[in-house]
Structure 1
């Protein structure tokens, strides 16, 4: 009986970890999209100059 309980506990642990990793991936994707949007469409000269070469090397339009 303790073997079954241990297996169930491991499965629940794995599911929780997978859910946490999925939530972290979604949050990181949203943060990344916000940063790209901010740097790509910012009218602030310092932000534009800091990200200019990177944007052109990745074919992201900025002009």
Structure 2
């Protein structure tokens, strides 16, 4: 029984790393795009800004 519990824990910990990295990357991209002052970034992220509640006007 110990082997199967260890295997499940290991599989969960292996899956948690990439999920955490994607959450951090996605949050970082949203923060950068939401607070960008460049007109090109503003235009590219305009709809996303409004959908997530970032004021841009």
Q: TM (normalized to structure 2)? A: 0.77
- State the 4+ residue runs in structure 1 displaced beyond 6 angstroms: none
Q: Aligned residues, how many?
A: 57
Cross-structure match for 1:13: 7
| Distance in 2 of aligned mates of 1:30 and 1:14 | 25
Match of 1:41 among 7, 14, 35: 35
Gaps of 5+ in 2: none
Q: TM (normalized to structure 1)? A: 0.71
User: Does 2:15 align with 1:25?
Assistant: no
Greater Rg over alpha carbons, structure: 1
Query: Aligned Cα RMSD in Å?
Result: 1.6
Gaps of 5+ in 1: 1-6
